[in-house]
Amino acid sequence: PLAPTCVALRDGVAAELPRKSVRRAVTRKAVQMLVLCDRDAVLLERRPEQGLWGGLHALPEFAPDEDVVLGARARFGLDIRPDGRHTRLVHRFTHFVLDITAIRAEVVDAGGTRET
């Protein structure tokens, strides 16, 4: 019933519609996440309110080239020992891909912060 007023039909482009939107190239971000175990506990930290997973508790995140042993000492006052196990994960979001290297480590010294 709308054919007489259809602009796409009038212009001869009705078969081409709807047009698919142009997809942007998917960006990738690489991070290391520390799976830091102390007895039966795993360390989580609260993420900043703004940004990815805002306000949620998550594994500590480090830059891909950052030394997680030094990072754990600086951020948490903990001496840790990575056990050599690394797991690679890929998490796809709608607007980018997150390449995660999960590094498992044990707390060696809690610097007096451990409760007994």
How do beta strands 57-58 and 45-46 pair? antiparallel
pTM: 0.72
Query: How far does Cα 104 stand from its chain's mean position?
Result: 17
Band of residue 5 on the pLDDT scale cut at 50, 70, 90: confident
Instruction: Encode burial over 66-99: b for 16+ CB neighbours within 10 A, e otherwise.
Output: eebbebbeeebebebebeeeeeeeeeeeeeeebe
Taking only the tens place, the pLDDT of each residue in 9-50 is 889 888 888 888 887 788 999 999 999 999 899 999 999 999
